[in-house]
């Protein structure tokens, strides 16, 4: 049950974020698009670094 929640929560968050960008892509200014893209990139880099640190330390 815990595994299901651990997989479901990130899945729903990703789907919600992607749906928001997909449906609002024409209504967002280029500056907001770049800001959101930069934020998403930073989150993915941080997740990758922490995952690698966890593997190396564990």
Model pLDDT for residues 3-58, shown as the tens digit of each residue: 888 888 888 888 888 788 788 878 888 898 888 888 888 888 988 898 888 888 86
Give the integer Cα–Cα distance in Å for 52 and 56.
Answer: 6
Q: What's the pLDDT score for residue 55?
A: 85
Supply the pTM of this predicted model.
0.57
DSSP state string for 5-21: HHHHHHHHHHHHHHHHH
On whether the CB atoms of residues 50 and 35 are closer than 8 A, the answer is: no
């Amino acid at each position: 049950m815990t595994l299901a929640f651990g997989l479901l929560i990130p899945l729903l968050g990703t789907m919600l974020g992607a749906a928001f960008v997909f449906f609002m892509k024409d209504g967002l200014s280029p500056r907001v698009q770049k800001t959101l893209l930069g934020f998403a990139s930073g989150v993915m880099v941080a997740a990758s670094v922490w995952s690698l640190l966890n593997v190396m330390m564990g």
